[in-house]
Amino acid sequence: MKKKLCIIGASGDIGQRMYNTLVNTFPEYEIIGTCFQKKSIYLENLDVTNYNMLNRYLLNHMPYIIIWLSGSKDVKNCQINEEFAYSINTTPIKFLIEILKNNNIKSKLIYISTDYVFDGLKGSYLTSDNCNPLTNYGKSKLKAEMFLIESDITFLIMRTSAVLINGKGFLGWLKSEFEKNNKFSLFENTYFSPIPIEILNKAVEIYILKNDWKKNIIHISGPRLTRFDFGKYFANFMGYDKTLLIKDKANFTNSTFQRDISLVPDESIRFLSINSWENLFKYL
């Protein structure tokens, strides 16, 4: 019988692509995944906020590897509703640890975390830098990381920056703005280190193959640039009209905007990283 590799949150933006990639890359594993509101015939319905349901799911499958992608990345909603942020991003990880421990299940966990665990005052963050999240989203993800660090389970926290997926998130929004052919603004004072989904998937593959997860936290990210520059390079690459872009400045008081939450990729996967915008867009 094949060992099971389970993606919790396989119906999400990252999860869908990671599921399809891993199914092709690892025929030696049975790749299974979960969904919540989006229904899929390939995925099993699971509410990770429901302890009994998660318990049943894990006992039923006894996964060898779990990749955890479920949660809410909605920074604004998490900011308005702190309780929601913790209930969806933190408590399920506490449940997971308890269930694995109580049932002596030895699953290895890859937990996808975020650049929002940093305060954005310094930028180019290493894993050795202090975390100091300013948003409820960042706080709830860091708290989940802390539960893992204090636990006995085998885990790898993979912190990543904005993940570039065709037609989704920032990239999808940018494309639709250019296609409206109206002027629009992007911040020239907020830095990030976006990464194509293909590179994140590759990093996950490398760590699935690696037996040694001694390092428990790694960063995987792309080149550091401002949102405005990203827009400019994207326009160049796609042949859109750059003059539609207006430079704007984010106001950091009373907002969830971050000055510079760029990450430095871990040396173990630095060979995957992208150091120029041309290479960043060639995946799209």
Ligand X SMILES: NC(=O)c1ccc[n+]([C@@H]2O[C@H](COP(=O)([O-])OP(=O)(O)OC[C@H]3O[C@@H](n4cnc5c(N)ncnc54)[C@H](OP(=O)(O)O)[C@@H]3O)[C@@H](O)[C@H]2O)c1
Using the rule CB under 6 A, is 65 a contact of ligand X?
Answer: no
CB of 181 to ligand X, least distance (A): 27
Instruction: Find the part of the chain contacting ligand X (CB under 6 A) among 24-32, 76-84, 156-164, 236-244.
Output: 156-164
Using the rule CB under 6 A, is 174 a contact of ligand X?
Answer: no
Give how far Cα 49 sits from Cα of 36, 53, 86, 143, Å.
Answer: 11, 8, 10, 16
- Count Cα neighbours of 221 within 13 Å in the Cβ-side half-sphere: 28
Using the rule CB under 6 A, is 84 a contact of ligand X?
Answer: no
Is the separation of the CB atoms in 188 and 138 below 8 Å?
no
CB of 234 to ligand X, least distance (A): 16
| Residue number with CB closer to ligand X (114 or 226) | 114
CB of 50 to ligand X, least distance (A): 8
Using the rule CB under 6 A, is 36 a contact of ligand X?
Answer: yes
Give how far Cα 255 sits from Cα of 74, 130, 187, 235, Å.
Answer: 14, 22, 13, 27
Neighbours of 146 (CB within 10 A): 13
Counted residue by residue, the chain has a size of: 284
| Residue number with CB closer to ligand X (172 or 185) | 172
Report the interface residues with ligand X, using CB under 6 A: 9, 11-15, 35-38, 46-49, 69-71, 73, 88, 112, 114, 141, 160, 162-163, 169
